[in-house]
Amino acid sequence: MNPKFILQFSYYYGIKVITRGPSYIIASLVTPLTLLFVVYILTAGKLVEFAIVGGMISLIASIGLQSAGDASFFRLQLRIQELYVASDVTPIDYMLAMTLSFLAFSIPGIVVYSLLGAYYGLYSLQTSAFMAFLIVMLIISTSAIAFIISGLIKHIRNIWGITSILSIIMTIIPPTFYPYVDLQGRLGTDGLIYLLSLSPATPAAISAQMVFGLMPWDNSMFGTMMAFLIGETIIYFAIAKFLTRWREV
């Protein structure tokens, strides 16, 4: 592992982007904050806490998924993988550097949702620690999905439509802005929940709803969702590592 490269890359492509292009930060916040506003209006504030907790999850997951565009641009247009072939930078170093840069890029959104959560009294030491855990797992798993997508496409023009569709399917349709129990009983017992759990946002949102006290605690469901989230993170990252090969562009 090359910590120096990882930190320098993530600083330049994460922190510096915030100062160079603040409009990108606003763009990343538009969808989750708009949905938060819609949920607040349509439910007269009854589901606003779900939308705040889920909004954080949706924000991180969508940034991770949309990073497929950056990864594809680097691979297909800049040919950056060819640059690193002769260096001591490994695919793992590159993936971790990109992932950390996306996490850094998420900081403004994390601050906004943290302030909203604090205003509604959602955060304690326990819930804050659990949300931090979810943020790390989500940025790793969704960035891995982004690398998988970027490793499979052949032309850069295809990536924008793919990421837009996936971002909606994997961050909006899952129970990020509404109670997960609304899905139970569809496609059989918890069938739709398990289907949507292919997106890391689903197990993250369901477990968060229980930890934050928005839904009754269910040991079985919580354990299942944690197994999904951790297992998906490992599997997606392993697949992404296999597809991120320096010599194949």
The 10s digit of each residue's pLDDT in 198-228 is 999 999 999 999 999 999 999 999 999 999 9
Q: What is the pTM of this model?
A: 0.88
- 118: in domain: yes
Judge whether 14 lies within some domain: yes
The number of folded domains in the chain is 1
Please give the residue range of the domain that contains residue 32: 3-243
Angle at CA of residue 210, ends 208 and 214, nearest 5° = 95
114: Cα within 13 Å, side-chain hemisphere: 16
Q: Which of 222, 234, 166, 233 is nearest to 193 (CA)?
A: 222
| Whole-number Å distance between alpha carbons of 192 and 169 | 13
pLDDT tens, residue by residue, 138-171: 999 998 998 888 888 877 777 877 888 888 888 8
- Residue 32 inside a domain? The answer is yes
Domain assignment present for 80: yes
For residue 117, is it within any domain?
Answer: yes
DSSP string, 29-87: HHHHHHHHHHHHHHTTTTTHHHHHHHHHHHHHHHHHHHTHHHHHIIIIIS-HHHHHHTS
| Domain contains 248 | no
**pLDDT for res 21:** 66
59 touches 106 (CB < 8 A): yes
Confirm whether 249 is domain-assigned. no
As given in the structure block, the two tokens for residue 42 are 């349509």
Residue found under tokens 């997106």: 199
Q: Mean pLDDT in the chain?
A: 85
